[in-house]
């Protein structure tokens, strides 16, 4: 009998071990969905204290059936969140997922490339679904708390205190303060004030961070004394800070919605412009006390 058919009762009455494991797995899967990340069978098994990841077929099948039951009860489609658990070998879920994709026989006969397309579509739907906390509440479960803003701040302050900040001139500091008070330069509402020198747990400090609801906009500032070498460094700093902002948002479980801007005081050289395009870095020409937006 197929996995999902055997787990047809979903969470059921919790008399079966796989039902208990399914209920314990759902908050972990929601954590991953809100972070926009898949996880391996071995990783989920370890978190559930299961010695053999192969035994996850019944719990995950039960999760899938529970999502189907909840979808019918609420009258809204809830994506098959169990699809987040993938094999290390091919990066896709096990064949049991076929019962949740419509034509199971067609899915089983599909090529790896075709299966990958189906799974990618499923993952997109899972990551974009906005009501996972509601799903947990309907199941009588609480979200997994990974980190809080207070704990991240504490870790960041400790890291920066230990490893220190680099020195900076008054001109650079003044330009950062100007940027922090002019959010409209970065398509943000006036009146928003940016945080200067936002620390990360990596001991890196972002020049300015704006938080506009769920949207975070980081700004790396390079002043009029910055030469091409320093601006080139700024491009790579933007790549780094983008990843660090995403990491914090994943831990805070608030969805991924952040972008980086490199604030510069002059146009980029042709060589740096090519790098900017390849790295997909947005720039803004900022002149104190006047400011003009560029590419």
Q: What is the pLDDT of residue 240?
A: 97
Q: What are the structural domains of the chain?
A: 3-138 (no CATH), 149-285 (3.40.1350)
Predicted confidence (pLDDT) at residue 207 exceeds the cutoff of 80: yes
Mean per-residue pLDDT for 268-274?
90
> For strand 195-199 and strand 258-264, is the pairing parallel, antiparallel, or unpaired?
unpaired
pTM value? 0.76
**Poorest-pLDDT segment among 33-47, 109-123, 180-194, 201-215:** 109-123
Instruction: Tell me the average pLDDT of the chain.
Output: 88
Predicted confidence (pLDDT) at residue 167 exceeds the cutoff of 80: no
Share of the chain residues as helix, strand and coil, in percent rounded to the nearest 5: 55, 15, 35
Q: What CA–CA distance (Å, rounded) separates 285 from 277?
A: 16
Mean per-residue pLDDT for 139-150?
91
| Confidence grade of residue 127 (pLDDT, cut at 50, 70, 90) | very high
96 or 83, higher pLDDT: 83
Q: What CA–CA distance (Å, rounded) separates 213 from 219?
A: 17
107 or 174, higher pLDDT: 174
Q: Which strands sit side by side in the sheet containing 215-221, from one edge to the other? A: 195-199, 205-212, 215-221, 258-264, 282-285
């Amino acid at each position: 009998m197929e996995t999902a058919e055997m787990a047809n009762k979903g969470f059921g009455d919790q008399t079966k071990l796989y039902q208990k494991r399914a209920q314990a797995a759902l908050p972990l899967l929601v954590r991953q969905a809100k972070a926009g990340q898949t996880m391996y069978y071995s990783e989920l098994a370890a978190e559930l204290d299961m010695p053999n990841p192969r035994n996850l077929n019944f719990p995950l099948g039960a999760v899938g059936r529970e999502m189907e039951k909840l979808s019918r009860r609420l009258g809204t489609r809830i994506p098959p969140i169990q699809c987040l658990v993938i094999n290390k070998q091919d990066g896709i879920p096990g064949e049991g997922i076929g019962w949740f994709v419509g034509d199971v026989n067609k899915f089983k006969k599909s090529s790896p490339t075709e299966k990958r397309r189906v799974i990618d579509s499923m993952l997109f739907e899972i990551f974009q679904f906005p009501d996972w906390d509601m799903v947990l509440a309907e199941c009588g479960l609480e979200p997994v708390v990974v980190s809080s803003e207070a704990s991240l701040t504490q870790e960041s302050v400790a890291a920066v205190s230990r490893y220190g900040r680099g020195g900076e001139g008054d001109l650079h500091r003044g330009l950062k303060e100007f940027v922090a008070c002019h959010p409209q330069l970065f398509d943000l509402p006036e009146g928003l004030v940016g945080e200067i020198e936002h620390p990360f747990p990596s001991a890196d400090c972002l020049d300015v961070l704006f938080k506009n609801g769920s949207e975070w906009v980081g700004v790396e500032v390079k002043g009029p004394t910055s030469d091409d070498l320093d601006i080139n460094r700024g491009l790579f700093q933007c790549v780094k800070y983008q990843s660090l902002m995403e990491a914090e948002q994943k831990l805070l479980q608030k969805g991924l919605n952040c972008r980086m801007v490199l604030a510069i005081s002059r146009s980029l050289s042709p060589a740096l412009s090519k790098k900017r395009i390849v790295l997909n870095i947005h720039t803004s020409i900022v002149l104190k006390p006047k400011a003009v937006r560029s590419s």
